[in-house]
Structure 1
Amino acid sequence: MVKFMQINLNHYEAAHDMLKQTTREQNIDVVIVSEPYRLHGGNNTTCSTQRKAAILLSSVRPLQMSQTRAFAHFVRAKIDRFWVYSCYMPPSINHQEFCAALDELATDARSHSPLIIAGDFNAWSLEWGSVSNNARGLLDIALLNSGNQNTFSQTGVGSVIDLTFVSSIFRRSSWKIGEFYTASDHEAILFKIGGSIRQRDVHPVACKTYKADTLNVPQFTAARVE
């Protein structure tokens, strides 16, 4: 079983410091980060070219990161048997850039399996509990998000913009929002891959899968958080 944590640190130093403590306390193997405060080099860290999406390995287990590749708005690495993508789609990019980033992500991820695609997409959808419609699909993957708790909250306004997708490993995955302080305006998301088979009726919202050829980029971009 591999334990993951996903969080947007919003460039906060305090959130960065809390992350190190939480990783130890929760026995996290892999951390998927958006908007990191500080990144250290070495074999345990990789990040996007704009340094706003990163993948970090903890020292809990001797996992290795290989076949890394950095793009502007996401980065990928192979960890254990999983192809892991950390994404950050900033609200400041225009429609054309957003579409190009999604196309680039889909093109690279389509040739890899099993997939984990996670991060802050700055997009809303009724599919995961937000207030407006979004895309019909992105690859052959399933959304792990469950429940209606916001993943982001600021000045009394909340939304679900931090998303976790997986491919064929859905039924052996579990997902929850961490019930602990993060020092960020984003909640920490904890998910595990492995263990007992997940029952299909536990999180009915997450059971829908998505196909690459059904991706509707105009719908997806229309629902972005501006």
Structure 2
Amino acid sequence: MSRPVLISPSILSADFARLGEEVRAIDEAGCDWVHVDVMDGHYVPNITIGPMVVKALRPHTQKLMDVHLMITPVDPMLDAFAEAGSDLITVHQEAGPHLHRTLQRIRALGKKAGVSLNPSTHEDTLDYVLEDIDLVLVMSVNPGFGGQSFIDSQLRKIEAIRAKIERLGKPIHLEVDGGVDAATAPRVIAAGADVLVAGTATFRGGPAAYADNIRGLRGA
């Protein structure tokens, strides 16, 4: 079945000295969403940004703010990221003791809810929450840093999750993050993904290249 492919550039690969300008640039270049990677130096081995930066970036785009929380414990931070302007909040399956309760809280805050699976996390962990989410994010690299190589084994996971979504019959997005570029995007889309997170592949070449980079990914 043919599905529209959405492009959600990860600002992790943007110029952090001019983040507002970078967000406006990818918006004007035709991105569908803006992907914000939040890392705490605890759940993943890196520290990036917090809710204050999300709030500062919010006026720079009307596109969906796709906020990926790589933090634990995640529950105490949900309200702050919702108030900062997140539209979709994705948490990791392992980021708290009660995933269902976490997803309920995100929904209660008026936001779309997503669950992310690390490369070693089995897709069956979704079985009892799939009806409660708007998005599944498959990590095709180990989270923590941009610019990593795609892990081929995740294609089987994408296929398995797409089958679960089709059986359920709900409009749940299947997003893939990690090593997505012009070479891997066709394989990811063929496996069943409909949202591509691309940092390096979007931001390479500077602002003049962003539109062509996004078109190239979408054309895959």
TM-score (structure 1 length as normaliser): 0.39
Structure with greater helix percent: 2
